[in-house]
Chain A
């Protein structure tokens, strides 16, 4: 029923139309790469070198050692120091420092006499994420300092937790990402977002533009069947999206040094399913919109929630239950789980088959529904 010859011609026409304009060419291939490089650097939640404001009223060797413990950890850097606590408040108000450390007078003698002095740590809670992590680090540094001090030793043991007294010693190990860097987790996700945006933009435009220009009628009087028309519209976009994905994945590997631990086959297979699901959304948008303007508006309304409800910016597990349920309808959510697991954990079909099945069923139902709507729309004209 579907003639490969006619579909092939349609694909050729589409590609020619797209690439005739050198500006479009540049947008299609350069924009994703530029976006990944820009945003790949931005998506960084590592809490390192937090600006620390120091008020040291003790000024002894012991207080300096405590300060050294803060800076040597790599989590804090000394931004400024003063003897006036008022300056500390101002620095936090003006955002010049994020954490304040206040060492009281008599600190050293109190430690040695076992009087357990208190060191104040004042955290700017405006960015709750940074604040939570920084507070945890600071508390740990002070505690470890005290324990080392009590045992009369001053050299510490990296980030690997707890004092190792006669009590319980916690040995923590982070798998898949031993140095706990946020970029290796976020850059693969940016790939998913960029590919989704391009998919939507290209498909919905490809259909709506024909309608706006009136060339859709010309296609309709040609011997093309609606199914062939859909294939002819989607195949080129799918191909381009795949090329884009390979390009940005290469940038992630070569530029950002993100490890790819899983198989390329698993990655490409999931990408193909995801692209088809994304395409079907684009097609649905184009059946809803009669002008390119409207297509944009509908996409605008789809994309922002799709990004928010994908686990890209923050984990799905922390959302309220209702929104967690909504995320299951979002192809981006499933694709992000897959890319992240393939890149970092080296997972494959065995661990991720559920996501593959979901993406595949989304692609199939989406495309079928879009075709049906498209056909109905044509019949109604």
Chain B
């Protein structure tokens, strides 16, 4: 391998890239656009849950309970129903997520300390939202129940739970989304950008020109990698800074470690694209494969939104083929947890392996000769 030839190859690739406006947009404008778009659009925080109330008791006590739901801030009482048969229609159309039913005699039972019952009917179709709503409702009712019983005296529970949330004390979903997004965006961009690079040479017939030069296989692959690597690093830097400035995501760990890990990840992700490009030799097919191989897998199988630990074992095995999977652990670890290499070395090992295998495979399948 000759560094001069390698650099010459990289320079040629860079000039070619600079002349292609589509690639430039893909490389520079898209990451920021995606970050802004998703950063603002994706929130998983359950607030203002739409609730309907069917108060069959109409007593002072029942009004206080409804008041407790309203003032807690999680629920928004959207309407008051008058008959039980309205409940089904409301849940069926999805106008409200839940209906709070206060049965007749509620106030009397509470007054007499006989144990008053209230019913919460939830639309369980979205299990996640329903579970969170249920937890909120449960906490509100138990607090209200205690204060109704104690009438102003201080509440002493037999055992108190003191929950503390580490790494993301406000439990804002944005803090989870933004570091993950960097990995998702860069995976897609890296594969899309490089998918074209070798296939283009074949389709345009410039591969013959390359073949007549003394440049070697590894030099071509690495020479093609270099410019994209620079672009990728630049993109990550922009998205990291934008994430911190615009979305206020804290960066608790070391910038140096983040950069080193980013480098490893990018080499792997770009190598994957180059491999696809070298293997199929057609721009259309390469983009198609890059899209299928990155798009949904990166969103669904990387741990970005869905916990890998709760997937079946076979599928967990499949996730090891998605490079973003490792990088997401890294970005979340460095941004939120502020952990160092002692916690992240397994990810580093996997990413190095991925990069070596990806580039090695790309070099192997890439035939400069025009035999076939």
Contact of B159 among A111, A128, A172, A315 (CB under 8 A): A111
Are A308's CB and B171's CB within 8 A?
Answer: no
Are B94's CB and A323's CB within 8 A?
Answer: no
Stretch binding the partner chain, chosen from B255-263, B292-300, B348-356: B292-300
Residues of B13-51 contacting chain A, CB below 8 A = 22, 26, 34, 37-38, 40-48, 50
Are A94's CB and B343's CB within 8 A?
Answer: yes
Shortest A48–chain B CB gap in Å is 7
Contact A171 B41, CB 8 Å, known A133-B135, A178-B124? no
Contact A182 B128, CB 8 Å, known A166-B115, A168-B144? yes
B146 at the interface (CB under 8 A from A): yes
B53 at the interface (CB under 8 A from A): no
Stretch binding the partner chain, chosen from B239-247, B269-277, B283-291: B283-291
Cα–Cα distance between A165 and B50 once the two chains are bound (Å)? 28
Shortest A38–chain B CB gap in Å is 7
Q: Mark A128-151, 1 if CB is under 8 A from B, else 0.
A: 111111011111101101110110
Set of chain A residues within 8 Å of B209, measured between Cβ atoms: none
Are A177's CB and B127's CB within 8 A?
Answer: yes
Cα–Cα distance between A345 and B88 once the two chains are bound (Å)? 10
Set of chain A residues within 8 Å of B307, measured between Cβ atoms: 44-45, 127, 130
Identify the closest chain A residue to B61 (Cβ): A168
Residues of A bordering B, CB below 8 Å: 31, 35, 38-39, 41-49, 51, 66, 92-95, 111, 114, 116-133, 135-140, 142-143, 145-147, 149-150, 161-178, 180-182, 184-185, 193, 201, 292-294, 296-297, 300, 303-305, 307-309, 313-315, 317-320, 323, 337, 340-341, 344-345, 347, 351
Cα–Cα distance between A130 and B305 once the two chains are bound (Å)? 10
Are A139's CB and B306's CB within 8 A?
Answer: no
Are A139's CB and B161's CB within 8 A?
Answer: yes
Are B161's CB and A121's CB within 8 A?
Answer: yes
Cα–Cα distance between A201 and B284 once the two chains are bound (Å)? 12
Contact of B41 among A116, A147, A175, A323 (CB under 8 A): A323
- Chain B binding site: helix, strand, loop or mixed by DSSP? helix
Instruction: Give the total of B residues in contact with A, Cβ under 8 Å.
Output: 104
B311 at the interface (CB under 8 A from A): yes
Contact of A170 among B38, B94, B120, B168 (CB under 8 A): B120
Contact A145 B159, CB 8 Å, known A35-B296, A173-B120? yes
Are A344's CB and B125's CB within 8 A?
Answer: yes
Set of chain A residues within 8 Å of B91, measured between Cβ atoms: 175-176, 345
> Which residue, B65, B159, B291, B307, has most C-beta atoms of chain A within 10 A?
B159
Are A293's CB and B110's CB within 8 A?
Answer: no
Residues of B90-140 contacting chain A, CB below 8 A = 91-94, 110, 113-132, 134-139
Contact of A320 among B40, B149, B299 (CB under 8 A): B40
Q: Mark B40-84, 1 if CB is under 8 A from A, else 0.
A: 111111111010000000000000010000000000000000000
Are B138's CB and A167's CB within 8 A?
Answer: no
Contact of B122 among A122, A136, A175 (CB under 8 A): A175
Are A125's CB and B166's CB within 8 A?
Answer: yes
Set of chain B residues within 8 Å of A95, measured between Cβ atoms: 329, 333, 343
Are A138's CB and B43's CB within 8 A?
Answer: no
Shortest B248–chain A CB gap in Å is 14
Cα–Cα distance between A344 and B92 once the two chains are bound (Å)? 10
Identify the closest chain A residue to B103 (Cβ): A171
Identify the closest chain A residue to B185 (Cβ): A304
Set of chain B residues within 8 Å of A181, measured between Cβ atoms: 127
Are B160's CB and A118's CB within 8 A?
Answer: yes
Shortest A259–chain B CB gap in Å is 11
Identify the closest chain B residue to A115 (Cβ): B156
Are B305's CB and A337's CB within 8 A?
Answer: no
Set of chain B residues within 8 Å of A345, measured between Cβ atoms: 91-92, 125
